[in-house]
Structure 1
Amino acid sequence: MAVEKEVNPRFEDFLFDWSTKFQFLVGGYGSSKSYHVALKIILKLLEEKRTALVVREVYDTHRDSTYSLLEELVIDLGLDGRIKCMTSPMQIRFPNGSKIIFKGMDKPAKLKSINNISIVWIEECSEVKYSGFKELLGRLRHPTLKLHMILSTNPVGEDNWSYKHFFKDELNNRLILDDADLYDKRTVVTNDTYYHHSTAEDNLFLPESYVSQLDELKEYDPDLYRIARKGQFGVNGVKVLPQFEVQPHDAVMKAISNIRSPIKRVGMDFGFEDSYNALVRLAIDHDKKILYIYWEYYKNKMTDDRTAEDLAEFKETKELIRGDSAEPKTIQFFKQNGFNIRGAKKFGGSRLANTKKVKRFKQIICSDQCTNTIAELKPLTYKKNKLDEIIKDEFNIDPHTFSAIWYALDGYEVSDLKGNGVHSFNKAKLGL
């Protein structure tokens, strides 16, 4: 069956490339990625008898998005007399027996009844939970046909599972594809995945007024500009520690060895079920106002006795551990087992005061071996209230390593210029 349809040149190769199992499309607003995914699926199902599953996080959102788009394409192609678009339940049936069915991850039980799915399209995949993605992988099966999963999304934060799975997962030291390479090359095929990047410029049918509207975002909403106009992943929101950087472990240790009078500190946050026992070793270059993070311990679901076994070296070194004073029983347990530990001071407003203290460092340099610290602090952003204003002592996650750093710095002040000035003045006055 021959059909004709004008398409954007950026998507011509994508439309007919079925060489990989996964196809990951990321792009800015109005780039026409969803349109071309829908067209690609229609063309494939006209050619071969297949069942395609189209998924969104919420089932009811299909009606005005994926289903509406596919129905519109069927009509534009002049195939509405042969392809039936049914609304109850939402389904599209082809003359050769192919069909498209629609499901939502908000009703996972209904996924169990579907069989012989050889194509899955996850629209706005970043909104679907990682567990849902893995569940869909299990539903993708057919005895003879090659299997394909298409994922389309606007870029979100680098903490989203879609970025970690298909690009970089720093916590697990896993690099699949540097997203910067994709933005440069636009199309990359690797690891049985076809990557495609697009922006508004790739959609020749967009009015100039729409593109201009996206360009204006740069002036007042840089995060949305990156997402909507540039089509790039990144950190959404205001970074808590913009001076945080990662360096090779050997380089960090060499820099610490060159500090004239390094201040060494150890801090620990306690956790068990959903939170973590996080312990960090720090070194401070007070003169240059640089904080080094060079060692970490990060585990949960550990009883105190097992944690004490893991940290036995601290009994040998007698390093002072400053811990969360809200856990006096835990601190007492470690004391009784030979650890040099005490509670860090807490007071009203201490979260904000401690956050400000860490932010005063000119540089925060973290060893690349401290993977959990990197995963928490590099993308750490402030929470916002209903007025879209940042809350200066609340964050997008519960960063246990950040709390450990707070406790480690208990009693230390990053900037003490006033005190130093007074002491120098007194010595001069007294002639000492």
Structure 2
Amino acid sequence: TTITFNPWSAAHWLKKRFFDKKSPDVKAFSTNYLINEFLDETDRAVFERMRLTNPRKYEVAGLGNWGISEGLVYENWTVGKKQIPKGEEYKWKSFFGLDYGYTNDPTGFVGFMANPIDKEMYIYCEFCKKRMLNCDIAAKIKEMGFSKERIRADCAEPKSNDDLRRLGIGRITPSVKGRDSILNGISAINEYRITVNPDCTDMIRELSSYVYEDRAGENGVKNPKDSNNHLCDAMRYAFEDVKHFHPQKEDEDKEEKRAAISGSDLTGGWDI
């Protein structure tokens, strides 16, 4: 039996079934335009332009690597560990978001640093799990050391927000939803260069597969699909507070007393 297909999301079952687990009965391999003898120089020039103008698409459509070549909601992101240069700590601040789930959808929590001066984000901690009761969510947030932080949570769950406050997560704040709030939030985040800590595997999976609908809605605008977006929604809730952060460099004496980044901010994967 022969199966051929174009590369798709790294979360696709084909990758897990045939590529991640080696089997003596299966030969799995990738090919790309570089060894396609039927392409002429004009065809190859198309891929060369793609390499220069759209590297992410080239990785998938050109080299045949796993991923989605078009339609991703967030494209300006990479995986890596972020190190903040000395003297630039004041530019950064932590933000946290929470999206509720239970049976079919997971509960997603994310923490990231944002730097509105240089338009950079660093996603450094997460959890994403189904069937979490509110007491489980509160316990996990406490375990991660973020129980005293301001956390933007889904406003559609006021009872859950009240429960978490009662359970010791006192700064839970409902998100703000309204007309075009999803698209506006996505647009604001897309102004930033995003780095994702390699330990945040669920966020990496979502960013690799969160896509727009194939067809535009009644207003002529394509909306994102409501799937592979639980941590992305939590990130968008948290990002509501970034607009209120206006970093200013303080004199050295004040910086020594109170830096924008404290030791507790670095819990959850910072490599500093």
Return the TM-score normalized by structure 1: 0.47
Please identify the structure whose Cα radius of gyration is greater: 1
Shift of the alpha carbon at 1:289? 1.2
> Is 1:351–2:182 an aligned residue pair?
yes
**For 1:198 and 1:264, how far apart are their aligned partners in 2?**
42
Corresponding residue SS for 1:342: strand
- In 2 relative to 1, CA 233–311 (structure 1 residues): closer, same or farther, beyond 3 Å? closer
Q: Which residue of 2 aligns with 1:156?
A: 7
> Is 1:384–2:214 an aligned residue pair?
yes
- Output aligned runs, 1:55-66, within 5 Å: none
**For 1:196 and 1:316, how far apart are their aligned partners in 2?**
44
Alignment-mate amino acid for residue 80 of structure 2: Q
**For 2:156 and 2:216, how far apart are their aligned partners in 1?**
30
Q: Is contact 1:292-1:365 (8 Å) kept? A: yes
Q: Which residue of 2 aligns with 1:52?
A: none
Alignment-mate amino acid for residue 188 of structure 2: K
Q: Which residue of 1 aligns with 2:67?
A: 234
Q: Which residue of 1 aligns with 2:158?
A: 328
- In 2 relative to 1, CA 153–414 (structure 1 residues): closer, same or farther, beyond 3 Å? farther
Q: Which residue of 2 aligns with 1:245?
A: 78
Corresponding residue SS for 1:301: coil
Corresponding residue SS for 1:393: coil
Alignment-mate amino acid for residue 289 of structure 1: K
Alignment-mate amino acid for residue 114 of structure 2: I
Shift of the alpha carbon at 1:395? 3.2
Corresponding residue SS for 1:382: coil
Q: Is contact 1:376-1:399 (8 Å) kept? A: yes
Consecutive unaligned residues of structure 2, counting only runs of 5 or more, are: 249-272
- In 2 relative to 1, CA 238–261 (structure 1 residues): closer, same or farther, beyond 3 Å? same
CA RMSD of aligned residues (A): 3.7
- In 2 relative to 1, CA 256–400 (structure 1 residues): closer, same or farther, beyond 3 Å? farther
% identical aligned pairs:
21
Q: Is contact 2:105-2:130 (8 Å) kept? A: yes
Q: Is contact 1:323-1:344 (8 Å) kept? A: yes
Aligned with 1:287 (options 117, 132, 151): 117
- In 2 relative to 1, CA 199–285 (structure 1 residues): closer, same or farther, beyond 3 Å? closer
Shift of the alpha carbon at 1:155? 1.9
Q: Is contact 1:269-1:400 (8 Å) kept? A: yes
Residue range with higher mean Cα deviation, 259-268 or 274-283: 259-268
Q: Which residue of 2 aligns with 1:310?
A: 140
The number of residue pairs the alignment matches comes to 235
- In 2 relative to 1, CA 357–415 (structure 1 residues): closer, same or farther, beyond 3 Å? farther
**For 2:36 and 2:79, how far apart are their aligned partners in 1?**
38
- Output aligned runs, 1:59-208, within 5 Å: 121=1, 151-158=2-9, 159-167=11-19, 192=24, 193-198=26-31
- Output aligned runs, 1:395-406, within 5 Å: 395=225, 397-406=227-236
Shift of the alpha carbon at 1:337? 1.4
**For 1:366 and 1:317, how far apart are their aligned partners in 2?**
22
Higher relative contact order (CA 8 A, sep 6+): 2
Shift of the alpha carbon at 1:310? 2.3
- In 2 relative to 1, CA 386–238 (structure 1 residues): closer, same or farther, beyond 3 Å? closer
Consecutive unaligned residues of structure 1, counting only runs of 5 or more, are: 1-120, 122-150, 169-175, 177-189, 421-432
